[in-house]
A and B are shown apart, each in its own frame.
Chain A
């Protein structure tokens, strides 16, 4: 597609429920990244994909968080048993194989856990 698409744009969920966030990167971008942005906290790296592999998942905050990428394209970030501290904007970005080109970001998914 023309840009990075994220869905849903907003998600309100009850504490303890599971959520799935979707990212559709730019066609041809082999690298895909997930970040979390909390109020006043800046950008927190979560996980990086190159193709379908995740060589760097060091930023996932707990085992409740997981992500996968299929067909070298769409990625899904899953949060199990959501907690209130998971409330944040989740940003996805994609790039050509190396970060030197810079990222293209999606508009994000705003997750609110009540």
Chain B
């Protein structure tokens, strides 16, 4: 079964500083990987996804993530944090076939400090 691990439920970052959210996955087959963002009182919105094409994936709002098979990781980064990036971020994994549902990590609550 697939699973993801996100460490550190709360992440504080200064405005203008690098945002780095870590995601490590466990999968018996090459997975598909996703990052979602949830703003207060809203549903989850897809930020970006890896589907076995390019290992560096660019998403919305200046975010990107790199798939590293050797490290079983899919960390999310943004070079310069903005106040509007304050939200909760979820990593998710899916097999490329079979069981159809995503397995989500526990999420990172990002706080941006002015």
Contacts and interface: CB of A to CB of B under 8 A. Distances in A.
A63 B89 CA distance: 31
A2 interface: no
A53 B53 CA distance: 32
A42 B104 contact: yes
Interface in B16-49: 32, 34, 36, 41-46, 49
Nearest to B102: A99
B94 A42 contact: no
B42 A48 contact: no
A105 B43 contact: yes
B100 A48 contact: yes
A99 B44 contact: no
Given A91-B44, A102-B49, A104-B46, A56 B34 contact: no
Contacts of A100: 32, 51, 94, 96
Nearest to B97: A98
Interface string A90-101: 010100011110
B46 to A, nearest CB: 5
Contact of A105 (B41, B44, B51, B103): B44
B101 A91 contact: no
B100 A98 contact: yes
A88 to B, nearest CB: 14
A99 B107 CA distance: 19
> Which of A50, A55, A91, A98 gathers the greatest number of chain B CB atoms within 10 Å?
A98
Given A42-B106, A43-B90, A108 B101 contact: no
A20 B4 CA distance: 31
A79 interface: no
A31 B101 CA distance: 9
A65 interface: no
Interface of A: 4, 31, 33, 35, 40-43, 45, 48, 50, 55-56, 91, 93, 97-100, 102-108
Given A48-B101, A56-B101, 12 more contacts: A35-B104, A42-B106, A42-B107, A45-B101, A50-B100, A55-B100, A93-B44, A98-B100, A99-B101, A100-B51, A107-B41, A108-B42
